[in-house]
Amino acid sequence: MNAERPFPNVVIRASAGTGKTFQLSNRFLALAVADEPFDAILATTFTRKAAGEILDRVLLRLAEAALDDDKRAELSRFVGCELDRPRCLAILQAMLRQLHRLRVSTLDSFFIQIARSFSLELGLPPGWQIVDEIVDRRLQAEAVRAVLESQSTQDTLRLMNLLSKGEVSHGVSRQISSLVEGLYAIYAESPPEAWDALPRLKPLAPEQLRAALTDLTEAQLPGDKRFVKARDTDLERFRSEQWEDFLGGGLAKPVVNGTATYYGKPIPPDVAAIYEKLIDHAKAVLLGMIANQTKATHELLGRFDEAYGRLKTERRAMRFDDVTRRLGTAWLGGRVEEVAYRLDARLAHLLLDEFQDTSPPQWQVLRPFARQVGDGDRRRSFFCVGDVKQAIYGWRGGVAEIFEAIHRQIDGLESASLDESFRSCPEVIETVNRVFEGIAGNPIAVRYPEAVRRWAARFTKHSTARHDLAGYCRFETAPRTEEGGTQGHDTLAYAAERVARLRDEAPGCTVGVLVRRNASVARLIYELRKRGVAASEEGGNPLVDSPAVELLLSVLALADHPGDTAARFHVAHSPLAGPLGLARHDDAAAAWQLSAEIGRRVATDGYGPTLHDWTTRLAAECDARDLNRLVQLVEMGYGYEAEATSRVDDFIQLVRSQHVQDPTSADVRVMTVHQSKGLQFDVVVLPELDARLVGQPPQLVVGRADPTEPIQRVCRYVSRETRPLLPKAFVAMFEAHERRVIEESLCVLYVALTRAVHMLDIIVAPSSVREKNIPSTSAGILRATLVGDGAIEPETVLYEWGDANWAKTLTGQAAPEAAAVQQTLPLRLAASSARPTRGLDRRSPSQLEGGPRVDLALQLRLDTSGAADRGTLMHAWFEQIAWLEDGLPDDESLRRIAEKLGPRTDLDELLSQFHAALERPAIADALRRATYHQPAADDARSAVHAGPEVADPRWEVLRERRFALRDGESILTGSIDRLVILYNGPVAIGADVLDYKTDAIGPNDPAAIDEKLNHYRPQLDAYRRAVSAMYKLPPERVSARLAFVSVGVIRNV
């Protein structure tokens, strides 16, 4: 280990397949071995999956080293320190004990952690959450609606007209939505003044303009008809405001260029002078239009931003980039210490993966940390790894130049580069070398000299460690499209054909088909499935690739829209027609009924159980794949419940948009090159390289003073012809933009070519009949290198390298394909015992009052009188009384009891009510011992009166007697207000239950009392059952009585 700086600050440029993650895990392990606190190490990458892999890798390597001598020796070598077994075990154990402190995460989740600890300072709404894409899209749509609602039609029109250059397309929300989708990120990242950076020139005043035009009309021109004609055309163009045509043609053009000659003849200076005026005017107007458009874009985005921001605050919803931006702009610079405090960790070592994809806002947050660890303190370190050649996330805000600018940001960085692949066979690597080593001289690439020069500087010759791998590269053409067809589609279809064959030739191998556009992914899946190849999109397809799922969605659709006859037909012609009772699509009444039923079912049972039920009914008609998809749909239904809305449509929409991996079809994976990053396949097929290197022009172009700085200028896209009119800085900005586009195109090509382990199959379109030169496409670059000049014929192999029979040399790899036939796992349980004891229902007698059904109106009565409290207090007071003969508690203690239950104003009145109740003969009798010595009145007879027949009577009074016992299928539990037990000697022979009721009842209202009696009967019956069971008394020996204390009535139940 280096004595003065154990962990050098280093930047590693790691080419594809050279083991970036490995390097990062080396550094992590080296730090751990050096006893650096684990939580002082921050390792970040871009995807959650990659973060998980890094952590796994670190722990796995350490664990293997602990158990295996060879692995330990290897690890010792990589961390530069001799490790013995106990040491490995100790480090591993320490690390496992601190799993929760290991900071291996995505940048986003690291930022979120900071933001959570600073949410008040950052002005984030309390309880904020990161929203998923689906919710976010909904919010955006809502914001667009709000924008439209909040401004006048005229205002919207003005902006729309500015934006669409006078065209009046009919979709308004759609247009704004797509504008927002494309440009909001730029808006969010740029200050307002950036949108106003284009200087405005002053056009001629109307009278000056008139004068100039008159001058030109009357100007003396050389005696050449062509001069006159050109002048007239110029005037015409000028008057009809065709500014670009005016500036780019006629006599104006040579004046603009400064040659001032036309057909070799000089333009007279006085004429040129007039032209100059007009040119200035045209320029002013034209630039003004561009500036206005840019501003209008900003204005519209601003309005959207306002509405969107409001909604997000309201819903406590944030996006990752909101968090990043707030962190970057609001505060972080000087507060690294505070962050360390709230994060409970002083970060001393930064390990950054995929650094080329960092965006300027992200770098702004990271920079203070990076500077701090890179500040020369030898206990800290900075490590970053990336590959500018794989910088393909420009569209997502990644700015690869940050990687190149890092040396300027942090002092004393060492660099290293890795060019030995641990992934690809020699044939693939050689093809990569052939293409990129010569890129600077590639006749297609040199059409973009600046971009190519920069790119070439980044490429060093690759080598591979995998000489053991058999390999093959092929460059071939698809059939030529017939008239009326689309070559791109046919190339894809041909590729599908090829893949189908490859799958037979190289069974068990993974195949990745990489394309440029999402639409091509869909088309390829279609073509492949048509050929019986089970293909899946990266991340899976929406579940509607299963007809069974579609059927259930049609059933669900009826819930919201019983009038949807297409859905009705679908259901009526399915196996569910019978079970759901919809036999005919034109049976509207049945559809309405079904609609209501489904709505109810989904609301009460939830989506999961409902869908599961239908799935059960459908299973017999399904094949394994459909059933699998149905089960996944059921799962989605279960998971959806928490966010379910009252519209079934919302769930349907979710199913249609959510991608779900289908585990049964993983033969061939189709994805965009972007999605393939970080992945590898035995075979890679590239069928879409015929795309132009310069893509469609963007809507906006942005410029920064430095790649690491915020956006400084924004400008609507300006055509190449008009660009010379712009100020120099803007011209440079457009040039830089175009250069970046080319660089990124080359990156995409590089990433695409470097995914293959064994075989690379590149399929391009044949030369079109009109082709004069090799086109400026990725395919063109490959042609120029691998094939050379001249047209290419259809269905021809143009270049081959390696062994076409490579797959035959693989041994033991041809794993049998996973059987698509479904197995099931049976589950057998023992029979439940006849008398289970777990999970018994619990009932309390008071729940039983009023019978088993509940009248909601009574239940929801809002008590304003405090009757419930009064009842509680009365019960507490009555609880004090054992036998009336033994005396009453004094008012003082009664008041104390009341106080415990809360303050009240009506205490005196209640006290007098209590005393009044005790004065009523029936109540008083019931509480006296003496009463039980004699028989009682019939209507309130208790079971504990004892005459002479009882030899040794003794009464026990229990108050608030709790009980719990088994009552059939449930446990009956509760407490009895007053329970008197009659004993004869030691044996209980009778019991009396007295329940106090404080209900307000009018005097002399026997009907009301009868009604109450009925109401409370179930409760009292339960008490009787309980007492009879507890004291083993026959039921008739237990009396149960209600004491209506307010009217002094006691009734037997």
Place of tokens 């927002």: 180
Residues in 73-132 at the binding interface with other proteins, rule: CB under 8 A:
88-90, 92-93, 96-101, 113-114, 116-121, 123, 125-127
Query: CA 12 to CA 21: how far, in whole Å?
Result: 11
- The dihedral built from the CA positions of residue 537, 540, 541 and 544, taken in this order, carries a sign that is positive
Using CB atoms within 10 Å of the CB of residue 99, give its burial: 0 to 12 exposed, 13 to 18 middle, 19+ buried. Answer: exposed
DSSP letter, residue 379: T
Specify the amino acid at residue 447: R
Give me the least distance between CB of 187 and other proteins, in Å please: 19
Query: CA 600 to CA 606: how far, in whole Å?
Result: 9
Give me the least distance between CB of 730 and other proteins, in Å please: 22
Query: CA 500 to CA 533: how far, in whole Å?
Result: 6
Give me the least distance between CB of 571 and other proteins, in Å please: 10
Give me the least distance between CB of 437 and other proteins, in Å please: 25
Judged by CB under 8 A, does residue 529 bind other proteins? yes
Residues in 254-293 at the binding interface with other proteins, rule: CB under 8 A:
none
Residue by residue, what is the 3-state secondary structure of 533-596?
CCEEECCCEEHHHCHHHHHHHHHHHHHHCCCCHHHHHHHHCCCCHHHHCCCCCCCHHHHHHHHH
Residues in 579-598 at the binding interface with other proteins, rule: CB under 8 A:
585, 588-589, 592, 595-596
Beta-carbon contacts of 168 under 8 Å, excluding residues fewer than 6 positions away, are: 161
Residues in 726-765 at the binding interface with other proteins, rule: CB under 8 A:
745
**Dihedral of the alpha carbons of 484, 486, 492, 496, in degrees to the nearest 10:** -10
Among 950, 1053, 1049, CA closest to 993: 1053
Specify the amino acid at residue 1024: R
**Tokens linked to 826:** 């049976």
Nearer to other proteins, 389 or 570 (CB): 570
Nearer to other proteins, 797 or 818 (CB): 818
Binding part of the chain for other proteins, among 252-260, 299-307, 602-610, 704-712 by CB under 8 A, reads 602-610
How does 334-373 read in b/e, with b if 16+ C-beta sit within 10 Å?
eebeebbeebebebbbbbbbbbbbbbbbbbbbbbebbebb
Q: Which of 666, 786, 787, 1013 binds other proteins (CB under 8 A)?
A: 666
Nearer to other proteins, 570 or 1051 (CB): 570
Residues in 136-195 at the binding interface with other proteins, rule: CB under 8 A:
141, 145, 148-149, 151, 153, 156-157, 160, 164, 166-174
Give me the least distance between CB of 949 and other proteins, in Å please: 25
Contacts with other proteins, 10-49, as mask; x by CB under 8 A: --------------------------------------xx
| Number of Cβ within a 10 Å radius of residue 1033 | 20
Give me the least distance between CB of 489 and other proteins, in Å please: 8
Residues in 631-650 at the binding interface with other proteins, rule: CB under 8 A:
631-632, 634-635, 638-639, 641-642, 644-647, 649
Nearer to other proteins, 67 or 205 (CB): 67
Among 980, 984, 992, CA closest to 947: 984
Judged by CB under 8 A, does residue 2 bind other proteins? no
Judged by CB under 8 A, does residue 837 bind other proteins? yes
Helix pair angle (320-330, 107-117), 10° resolution: 60
Q: Which of 25, 372, 390, 546 binds other proteins (CB under 8 A)?
A: 546
Provide the pairing of β-strand 1038-1044 with 987-997: parallel
Residues in 298-317 at the binding interface with other proteins, rule: CB under 8 A:
314
Among 443, 491, 488, CA closest to 794: 491
Judged by CB under 8 A, does residue 818 bind other proteins? yes
Judged by CB under 8 A, does residue 895 bind other proteins? no
H-type helices in 724-783, by residue range? Answer: 728-753, 778-782
Query: CA 453 to CA 446: how far, in whole Å?
Result: 8
Q: Which of 37, 52, 438, 443 binds other proteins (CB under 8 A)?
A: 52
3-state secondary structure of 940: helix
Provide the pairing of β-strand 970-984 with 953-967: antiparallel
**Tokens linked to 124:** 């984030």
Give me the least distance between CB of 860 and other proteins, in Å please: 5
Residues in 1007-1046 at the binding interface with other proteins, rule: CB under 8 A:
1030-1031
Residues in 482-501 at the binding interface with other proteins, rule: CB under 8 A:
483-485, 488
Judged by CB under 8 A, does residue 865 bind other proteins? no
Residues in 53-72 at the binding interface with other proteins, rule: CB under 8 A:
53, 55-57, 59-60, 62-64, 66-67
Q: Which of 19, 599, 703, 780 binds other proteins (CB under 8 A)?
A: 599
Give me the least distance between CB of 924 and other proteins, in Å please: 27
Nearer to other proteins, 604 or 811 (CB): 604
Residues in 366-405 at the binding interface with other proteins, rule: CB under 8 A:
none
Judged by CB under 8 A, does residue 522 bind other proteins? yes
Residues in 950-1009 at the binding interface with other proteins, rule: CB under 8 A:
961-966, 969-971, 973
Judged by CB under 8 A, does residue 909 bind other proteins? no
Judged by CB under 8 A, does residue 825 bind other proteins? yes
Q: Which of 201, 340, 440, 910 binds other proteins (CB under 8 A)?
A: 340
Judged by CB under 8 A, does residue 534 bind other proteins? no
- How many positions of this chain bind other proteins (CB under 8 A)? 211
Contacts with other proteins, 668-697, as mask; x by CB under 8 A: ----x---------------x-xxx--xx-
Contacts with other proteins, 758-777, as mask; x by CB under 8 A: -------------------x
Q: Which of 80, 412, 579, 663 binds other proteins (CB under 8 A)?
A: 663
Query: CA 82 to CA 74: how far, in whole Å?
Result: 10
What residues are paired with 1051 via a beta bridge?
1042
Query: CA 1013 to CA 586: how far, in whole Å?
Result: 56
Q: Which of 504, 789, 863, 890 binds other proteins (CB under 8 A)?
A: 863
- Phi and psi at residue 12, in whole multiples of 5°? -115, 125
Give me the least distance between CB of 602 and other proteins, in Å please: 8
Give me the least distance between CB of 112 and other proteins, in Å please: 9
Residues in 548-567 at the binding interface with other proteins, rule: CB under 8 A:
548, 550-551, 553-554, 559-567
How does 377-403 read in b/e, with b if 16+ C-beta sit within 10 Å?
eeebbbbbbbbbbbbbbbeebbbbbbb
